[in-house]
Amino acid sequence: MLTEWWYGLLGGSLIGLSATLLLALNGRIAGISGMINGAITLAAAETWRWFFLLGLGAGGLIYEYGLAPQPTPTYDMAPLTLIMAGLLVGFGTRLGNGCTSGHGVCGLGRLSVRSLVAVLTFMATGMVTVWITRHLLGWV
């Protein structure tokens, strides 16, 4: 059985491999926000996006119900909090012209300066948000 750090190494390697293969074979970036946007347009030539997204979901289910060494942690959050968080992520994705997967996995792999700035901004904003919510406001 794989130890827990191997899961991260294996998962990260598979993400990198899939992003590399998608770019090399299809000339497409594996950013999830762009993937979802393209899938929603329902263009016949874009059906591959649905298979990619279904594979993401299937991978999560396989991990959760087959490979996970322990149950995945859950959090009790109010539905309004989750809705607000989702809207803020969507706004940030639009503002940043891409999501963390597009900039972090694909953009940095292509040595994009714009993606480096975006990832540094994502990380800094996340750190500040955690510090404010946990230390100043006392949430969670």
pLDDT tens column, 56-85: 889 888 878 887 677 777 778 888 988 998
Do 84 and 62 share a structural domain?
Answer: no
Query: How would you label 67-78 residue by residue, b for 16+ Cβ within 10 Å and e otherwise?
Result: eeeeeeeeeeee
Whether 70 and 94 share a structural domain = no
Long-range contacts, stretch 1-5, CB < 8 angstroms, 24+ apart: 1/69, 4/69
85 and 70, same structural domain? no
pTM score over 0.85: no
Residues 84 and 69 reside in one and the same domain: no
Q: By residue range, what is the domain housing residue 35?
A: 1-74
Same domain for 117 and 92: yes
Q: Number of structural domains, the chain? A: 2
The DSSP element (H or E) to which 129 belongs, if any, is: helix 113-131
Q: Are residues 69 and 105 in the same domain?
A: no
Q: Which amino acid is at 104?
A: G
Do residue 36 and residue 6 come from a single domain? yes
